[in-house]
Amino acid sequence: MRHRSKSIAQLWRCSLLASALLALSSQAQADGGLVELHQVVGQFAITVFTAPVPLRAGPVDISVLVQDRASGQPVLDGEVVVQLQREGGITLIEQATREAAQNKLLYSALMTLPEAGRWQLAVKIKREKETASVLGQVSAAAPRLFLLSYWRSLSLPPLVTALFVLSQCLKRRAARRHRKSI
């Protein structure tokens, strides 16, 4: 009997920890995401990633991996500028830096897309006297509703409360059974 209540308590702790990790993982920001563009231009091999996946209006992370074409080694001393342009005339320009990136092999620019639709993506790289540019298009979906964006985090407090109440009920039941057996 006592062994059973200990195993239930241990199960409760494990499920609480798993729920907390799940909620926190939804908030983690990571570089990379979906490969939107990969081109070899001049001395560079350039790969552009976008996050979130799928790309949505609102805050976005544009990460750029710049590699030396000959060796495949990442270029860590370049200057990278990301430009997004909408047909309606909206232009966003941001310097992508390694400091803004979680993965220090990438250059990252955090931007805010004001609206959904197709955007022209231009990335310009400069390293010493070498320069390169790549062009492409990305599509951004409409932004998610607030509650849908944060449902994991918002569901954590009621889940923890319910697990605590369940734990207390099981403890009381075990205590009553123990008193009856004495």
Q: Let me know the angle formed at the C-alpha of 49 by 48 and 55, rounded to the nearest 5 degrees.
A: 125
**28: in domain:** no
* Residue 138: partners with Cβ closer than 8 Å, 6 or more residues away: 36, 50, 55, 84, 118, 119, 121
CATH number where 131 lies: 2.60.40.10
pLDDT band at 23 (very low <50, low <70, confident <90, very high): very low
Question: Do residues 77 and 127 lie in contact, with contact meaning Cβ atoms separated by under 8 Å?
Answer: yes
44 pLDDT band, cuts 50/70/90, is: very high
153 belongs to a structural domain: no
Is 25 a member of any domain? no
Q: What is the pLDDT of residue 77?
A: 94
Confidence (pTM): 0.65
- Contact call for residues 113 and 143 (beta carbons, < 8 A): no
Q: How many domains are contained in the chain? A: 1
Range of the domain at 41: 34-142
Answer yes or no: is 149 within a domain. no
Q: Does some domain include residue 114? A: yes
Average pLDDT of the chain is 83
The 10s digit of each residue's pLDDT in 63-121 is 999 999 999 999 999 999 999 999 878 999 999 999 999 999 999 999 999 999 999 99
172 within domain boundaries: no
